[in-house]
Chains A and B, each alone.
Chain A
Amino acid sequence: QLQLQESGPGLVKPSETLSLTCTVSGGSISSSSYYWGWIRQPPGKGLEWIGTIYYIKSTYYNPSLKSRVTISVDTSKNQFSLKLSSVTAADTAVYYCARHYEGFDYWGQGTLVTVSS
């Protein structure tokens, strides 16, 4: 059974870089069959797709966040990561990692990241 688990700091200071890692177990992140994405959800609000990485190297980002987002893969650890720079309070959200092809079919449990000094 595929499982995804987000990890990283729960508190980030304004203007700093948010860094999260998603560890995948029960399947290979190197598979060419799937995409791997990050989605976030501010408290009480809807879902926002952040970005996706495919087959290790191809990346796709939400245009509204593109200038601040980097997604990368570490195949040796079966992990993919998110970096979001220059964060503000508006970046406070639950961050999810997920696998997708036709739909996001496997999700992590989500991790709350708060941006505050």
Chain B
Amino acid sequence: DIQMTQSPSSLSASVGDRVTITCRASQSISSYLNWYQQKSGKAPKLLIYAASSLQSGVPSRFSGSGSGTDFTLTISSLQPEDFATYYCQRSYSTLWTFGQGTKVEVK
């Protein structure tokens, strides 16, 4: 089975910072990679699909890149509402497994 590994598991940042989260697949998944944001007590929200496509309504400060095994979610300028947990998720070969999550906390 293809494993998804996110790093870091948590990070501390300040408003205005550029934040980068990485997701690595144990085998190539082409561009079948999605990113989600989850706030406490809420359902996850789709941010990026197909590695780099911005979901409708999501602010442009969020961007995704990568293909094959290495992927990145970038928040260009962290806003107060962006403190949350972020998950990557593969959508390859009819298995839709998630990474373990990255919690973005206030520095």
Which residues of A are in contact with B by a Cβ distance under 8 Å?
37, 39, 46-49, 52, 60, 62-63, 96, 98, 100, 102-105, 107-110
Contact = CB atoms under 8 A, between A and B. Distances in A.
Nearest to B31: A102
A104 B55 CA distance: 11
Interface residues of B, number: 24
B100 A63 contact: no
B83 interface: no
Contact of A62 (B34, B89, B95, B100): B95
Given A104-B44, A107-B43, A49 B96 contact: yes
Contacts of B50: 102-103
Contacts of A109: 43
Chain A CB within 10 Å, residue with most, of B1, B36, B46, B48: B46
B43 A47 contact: no
A46 B43 contact: no
Contacts, number: 63
Interface of B: 1, 34, 36, 38, 43-46, 48-50, 53, 55, 87, 89, 91, 94-101
Contact of B43 (A37, A63, A100, A110): A110
Contact of B95 (A46, A60, A102, A107): A60
Contacts of B46: 103-105
A103 B87 contact: no
Return the 7 tightest CB-CB contacts between A and B, nearest first. A103-B49, A107-B43, A103-B34, A102-B49, A47-B98, A103-B46, A60-B94
Contacts of A104: 34, 36, 44, 46, 89, 96
A37 B34 CA distance: 15
Contacts of B99: 46
17 contacts: A46-B87, A47-B36, A47-B89, A47-B98, A47-B101, A49-B89, A49-B98, A98-B43, A102-B50, A103-B55, A104-B36, A104-B46, A104-B89, A105-B55, A107-B43, A109-B43, A110-B43
